Amino acid sequence: MATPPVDPAQLAADIVAGNRRALAKGITLVESTLPDHRRAALALLAAIMPHTGGASRIGISGVPGVGKSTFIEAFGGFLIEAGHRVAVLAVDPTSALSGGSILGDKTRMETLAFNLSAFVRPSPAGRTLGGVTRRTRESLLLCEAAGFDVVLIETVGVGQSETAVADMADLFMLLLLPSGGDELQGIKRGIMELADLVVVNKADGEQRNIANQTLADYRSALHFMQSRCAQWQPRALACSALHGEQIDAVWAAIEAFYAAMADGEALAKRRAEQARSWMWSEMGESLLNDLRSDPRVKRALPALEAQVVAGELPATAAALQLIELFRSS
């Protein structure tokens, strides 16, 4: 993903002016790991920060087969009809390995992808979730600067990717299939409890009744959970993305969420906390990456880690030795 040398100030101005090609170029820049590009990307981000924060940031997850892309097509189309400008981003740490990045498949979301009020960007390639997450967070900021007022961040249920998306979204939406409880076990542990909004998709035809049962099951499960914040109790509803039914109800629930989260600046606090913890996790990851790539640590790590895993060496002792090797470099 080589990019020509860029003038971050000019690129920022073009993005803020709503130039789609500038936005695409900016996202390519933040996705690059080349040191020069990284520096330019940070300058670009610094320049556009005053123009960020204006979008509804909505995370969307669900097991494969739940119909995420059909839902996003229908939901995005509905929002554009209502006069919104919609950007769709994705977090998929497997894209580098599988090659098949979500949103990368051109046959998906055709309508949205070619609508001028929409901007669809595949998941960046990356070996680590942290890297993919960082680029998506930064792309989110660029989309906001470009004037998109709804940003949908899709993720597949891979490892911690839902948590990563919930940590950058205002609202985390979990799509469920109509089904008996057993099939729902594909949902990763803890994910359901991240959900501010649960949407049972494919509530049409013969599945309508099962969908209602799924809603009931979810609501009983809700009893065991503390909501993420006092201002909002998670809601559950059913829709049919295929037939465009109840899509408006999904948006109504999201609007209710934003109205509720204005109370006591709950949303502002959630975003502030997200930004703070993002900064600290960036520093933690960056330091551990530096440590991992330290030649002396590289030599010592395998043996020490093996002893720790074998229960021969306390983890704290191994950690101390590796830290001392790193700090003394």
In the complex, which residues of this chain contact a second copy (CB under 8 A)? 42, 45-46, 49-50, 52-53, 134, 137-138, 141, 180-182, 184-190, 192-194, 217-218, 220-228, 271-272, 275-276, 278-280, 282-284, 286-288, 290-291, 304-305, 308-320, 322-323, 326-327
Q: Is-contact 25 6, C-beta < 8 A? A: yes
**DSSP code string of 234-290:** -EEEE-BTTTTBSHHHHHHHHHHHHHHHTGGGHHHHHHHHHHHHHHHHHHHHHHHHH
Dihedral angle of Cα 27, 32, 38, 43, to the nearest 10 degrees: -10
The candidate with the shortest Cα–Cα distance to 154, out of 207, 86, 215, 202, is: 86
Rg, the chain, Cα only: 21
When the beta carbons of 111 and 289 are compared against a second copy, the nearer one is 289
Q: Which residue, 53 or 100, has its beta carbon nearer to a second copy?
A: 53
Residue 48 or 58 having the CB closest to a second copy:
48
Q: Which is nearer to a second copy, 116 or 310 (CB)?
A: 310
Question: Phi then psi for 158, rounded to 5 degrees?
Answer: -110, 120
In the complex, what is the shortest distance from the CB of residue 211 to a second copy, in angstroms, rounded to a whole number?
15
Instruction: Report phi then psi at 197, rounded to 5.
Output: -145, 130
- To a second copy, the closest distance from the beta carbon of 34 in angstroms equals 15
36: tokens are 């020069």
CB of 106 to a second copy, least distance (A): 30
- Minimum distance from CB of 283 to a second copy (Å)? 5
Min dist. Cβ of residue 74 to a second copy (A): 25
Cα 231 → chain centroid: 22
Instruction: State in angstroms the smallest separation of the CB of 110 from a second copy.
Output: 33
Question: What is the sign, positive or negative, of the torsion defined by CA atoms of 237, 62, 120, 277?
Answer: positive
SS3 57: strand
SS3 171: strand
Nearer to a second copy, 88 or 142 (CB): 142
- State the amino acid at position 150 in one-letter form: V
Quote the least distance from Cβ 309 to a second copy, whole Å.
4
Specify the residue, 64 or 284, whose C-beta has the smaller distance to a second copy.
284
Our CB check for a second copy shows the closer of 97 and 230 to be 230
